[in-house]
Structure 1
Amino acid sequence: MKQVKRNTHLDHKTKGDIEAEISEAIIKFEREYMGRGPEGARTYIMDDLVIVRLRGVLTPAERQLAKSEGSGQGRTLIKQVRMELLEKARPLLEALVQDITGQTVRSLHTDISTVTGERIIVFSLTGSFILPSG
C-alpha cells in the first residue's frame, strides 16, 4: 500500500502554488547552473510524481548542431552533454524538490528533444501527498 503523507507545512499552499514554486525554482536552477533559462516551464504534481516540462531549453549553438545533416551525431552529443550536466546536478535538483514538497525524491528521470527544444524531468517521490487543488 502506498504511503500517503499529509504535509502540514504546506497546509496554506494549494497544488497550483507548489507547482508554480517548483517551476520557478527549476527556471532559476537552469539559469544559474546551465547558464541559460528555458523559455517556459510548467510543473504537474500527480500522486507521487512531479513532472516538469521545460520549453525552449536549447541554446542557439545547440539548435544549429541539432540541425546538422548526417548521422545524427550532433543530436546525440547534445543529449549526452545535457544528461551528464543534469547527473552532476542531481543532488541539487533533488534537494530543491524535497525542500518545496517535503517529500524525499526516490528517483529522477529526464529526456530532452533536440527537435522541439523541450526537456521533461520526472521526480518520483517516496510517498504521495495531499494538497488542496488550485
Structure 2
Amino acid sequence: MSKKIHEFNDIIRKLRKELFGKGPERIHTVIKDNMVISTLYGNLTPTEKFIAQTSEGKEMVHAARTRMIQDVYDKAPPAGMEELIGAKFVHLFSDIKLQDDIAISVFLFDRSIEDTGGESNGSR
C-alpha cells in the first residue's frame, strides 16, 4: 500500500505545482474506507505569504487554494488517479490553514479502496 500512497502523493504534488507554481513540501496520506485523506505541509509560495498579510489577501489566497483546486477536480481527476486507486473519483473536499501553511484534502471515491483492515500512511 505504501507504494500506492507514494504514487498518489506524487500525482497531487505535480498538479498543485502546475496550478500554483509550488507543490507541497511534505504530504502525509491515509486511506480509509472510500476516502484518501492527505495533509499537505509547506504549500504557499513567497508571493502568497506576502499577499496573505492582509485580511483581504488571506481571503484571496484561501479562495485560490480551496475553490480553485476543487474546480479543477470537479472537471476531471488528474490523469492516472482513478487507475492507481482502482475506483472512480467522486469529489474533493479541501481546506487550508494559511497561518500554519497546512492544507487538508479528502478525496472521495465510489467504493472502499482499502486493501487491509487498517490505516496506511506515507510521507515524503
TMscore range, shorter length:
0.7 to 0.9
Rg larger in 1 or in 2?
1
> What is aligned with 1:45?
31
2:99 is paired with a residue whose SS is: coil
Give the corresponding residue for 1:83.
66
Q: Is the 8 A contact 2:34 2:110 kept in 1?
A: yes
Aligned to 1:74, the other structure's residue is in SS state: helix
Alignment of 1:37-116 (within 5 A): 37-68=23-54, 72-90=55-73, 91-93=75-77, 95-116=79-100
> What code does the residue aligned with 1:103 have?
A
Displacement, 1:88? 3.5
Supply the RMSD in Å over aligned alpha carbons. 2.0
Matched, 1:117 2:111: no
SS in structure 1 opposite 2:93?
strand
Deviation at 1:102, TM superposition (A): 1.0
Q: What is the CA–CA distance in structure 2 between the aligned matches of 1:95 and 1:28, rounded to whole Å?
A: 11
Give the CA deviation at 1:131: 1.5
Indicate the percent of aligned positions where both proteins have the same amino acid: 26
Q: What is residue 30 of structure 1 aligned with on the other side?
A: 16
User: How many pairs are equivalent?
Assistant: 117
Matched-pair contact (CA < 8 Å) for 2:42–2:101? yes
TM-score by length of 2: 0.81
**1:56 & 1:120 partners in 2: Cα distance?**
12
- In structure 1, stretches of 5+ residues that fail to align are 1-14
Alpha-carbon deviation of 1:28?
1.4
CA drift of 1:36 comes to: 1.3
